[in-house]
Amino acid sequence: MKYIRQRVLAAFAILALAISGCSTHETADTIFINGTVYTVDEANPKAEAVAVKDGMIQAVGNQQDILKFQGDDTKVVDLNRMTMTPGFIESHAHMMGVGYNKLEIDLMYVKTYDELVEKVAEAVEKAEPGDWITGRGWHQDKWIEKPDNMVKGFQTHEKLSAVSPDNPVWLRHASGHAAFGNAKAMELAGVNNLSIESLQGEVEGGEIIKDDLGNPTGIFTERAEGIIGKLVPQETEERAEQALELAIQECLRLGITSFHDAGSGQAYVDRLLRFKEQGRLKIRTYTMLTGTQPELLKEWADKGPMIDPDHQVTVRAFKLHTDGALGSRGAWLLEEYSDRPGHFGHETVPMERVGQVALMALESGFQLCSHAIGDRANQEVLDQYEMAFNKFPDLNPKDQRFRIEHAQHLSLDDIARFGEMNVIAAMQAIHMSSDRPWAIDRLGERRIVEGAYVWQKLMEAGATVANGTDAPVEPLDPLPSFYASIARKTLQGTPEGGYEADQAMTRAQALKSYTLDGAYAEFEEDFKGSIEVGKAADFTVFDKDIMTIPEMEILDTKTMMTVVGGEIVYEGN
Ligand SMILES: [Zn+2]
């Protein structure tokens, strides 16, 4: 019904444009003029200006057409020739992970101990006395120079403690096997040269590193981390709200207007609903319920999907995790790993469970999204989907839009099945860029060429490929992933010509994968994902024309404006 109404509206608006000159159109709330607008609407791919009324797109056209919608109260936004696209849709990432990362200091790119100390000093300035300051990702072997004072291969706490006398500091090592605290943190935990021996005795398999005089240096390894780690405030609801707030801000800063969360629980959904009610949820969300909580899926299957008429908090998918990753050789393969004979990886959930959840999803109107990376996992999941579809002959499998998350490595025979069953491949182009240089060791030349990150083959088979980043695994910024989609290179621009370049997306395909195809992957393509009359006024504005600039320049492009439902929710400079 709504679909029909939108089409009627569209027809009406086209008519209105056709008879321009006569002043019958309603005035717009906002007009965006003087832009380079890529609409992702095949019938009308480029425009200069857009008129918005009540959060929806009222007209799309050239400057003259749209100026006719200007009334006394119309806000006029001059895009100054910048590039506007439909709002970007992140189709697979983890909202709370993105937020929690922002609550901590990121030490991954720190090059010296002094730089680490500087970052902590900045955080101390913003903190209240007594607040814990936490961070992660430091690695002393990656520093370009070592501090003068090292004990057992690690730095010592004095400089760190000097910049943070009143705030306990706790910084986790990149490996996850050690952490670094300051004097305040050690004081709170009762760690000093008198207590160190007895504490050490309590932590089998861990070490409190001490200097020649027997003083703790601030480094705690393995199980000794718990001595201080247990004092760090746990994930309270207050902290979760803070994280969500930061994640939303991060989305808007990066031009993301819709976000598919790849696996969360009830507390997350409740938090989104609360944010919506309080007017703090500035983006649109789509949630996959995590299959790690079987009772959660059961409960939702009983009550059915929650489809938000306001298009802000929709819960309509189940998420399953069926194998590991290629890096750790956990991805489940049909043939052995090239760099570990006899090893095939493994499934992380019994396949019968995938079948059961697929049936439950079909019965209750949910979409199923299964994480599968290796070709065996992909094949087995497709088998389970097929089996489930066969049990519901009255349902058209194509309407179910089941998804496979990542779909990184596929057997040639299975590629066509994505098209046949209309299984959406939710892929993160940036993973290709980051992983392809070493993934060839795992899979070898033939398998890489035939079936790894085969975006073009999937699209040729009729499958929808939705794009994203899997943040916080990769940074949330869609532009590096957009770049990877078209260049198939590392972010350093290597290799020349790209990896398996015949699988690169065109820019138009890449833009669609990040907009309209993302909308399709959440059943929202009639509402958003392209700049068409009657659709939501969700836009992203970039300072450069990402559809024409040399590909390397995409990585220097900035988001200048993010618009959700006609409201400018972010402006860059
Ligand atoms: Zn993920």
Write the DSSP assignment of 490-518 as a string of letters: -TT--STT-TTGGGPPPHHHHHHHTTHHH
Cα 409 to ligand 1 centre (Å)? 16
Residues 6+ apart with CB under 8 A from 38: 45, 46, 83, 84, 85, 511, 531, 547
| Angle separating helix axes 429-451 and 478-487, nearest 10 degrees | 20
Cα 472 to ligand 1 centre (Å)? 8
C-alpha to C-alpha distance for 511 and 281, rounded to whole angstroms: 25
- Structure tokens belonging to residue 16: 């209105």
Comparing 105-109, 150-154, 527-531, the range with the smallest average pLDDT is 105-109
Which residue type occupies 89?
I
Query: Is the pLDDT confidence value at 11 over 70?
Result: no
What is the bridge-based pairing of β-strands 567-571 and 559-564? antiparallel
pLDDT, tens digit, 9 for 90 and up, residues 429-441: 999 999 999 999 9
Rounded to a whole number of angstroms, the CA Rg of the chain reads 26
pLDDT in the model for residue 38: 98
Cα 243 to ligand 1 centre (Å)? 18
Cα 116 to ligand 1 centre (Å)? 29
Cα 428 to ligand 1 centre (Å)? 10
Q: What percent of the chain has pLDDT over 90?
A: 88
Per-residue confidence at 19, pLDDT binned at 50, 70, 90? very low
- Residue 164 near residue 121 (C-beta atoms within 8 A): yes
Please state whether 228 falls in left (phi above 0), alpha (psi between -120 and 50) or beta: alpha
What is the bridge-based pairing of β-strands 150-151 and 154-155? antiparallel
Query: Can you tell me the mean pLDDT for 337-359?
Result: 96
pLDDT, tens digit, 9 for 90 and up, residues 155-174: 999 999 999 999 999 999 88
Per-residue confidence at 2, pLDDT binned at 50, 70, 90? very low
Per-residue confidence at 22, pLDDT binned at 50, 70, 90? very low
Closest Cα partner for 249 from 506, 486, 567, 562? 562
Cβ burial of 222 (10 Å; 0-12, 13-18, 19+) is middle
Cα 94 to ligand 1 centre (Å)? 6
pTM value?
0.85
pLDDT, tens digit, 9 for 90 and up, residues 28-73: 999 999 999 999 999 999 999 999 999 999 999 999 999 999 999 9
Cα 42 to ligand 1 centre (Å)? 31
Query: Is the pLDDT confidence value at 3 over 90?
Result: no
For 397-418, give the DSSP string. HHHH--EEEE--B--HHHHHHH
| Angle separating helix axes 412-420 and 375-390, nearest 10 degrees | 40
Which SS3 state, helix, strand or coil, does residue 2 take?
Answer: helix
Cα 264 to ligand 1 centre (Å)? 11
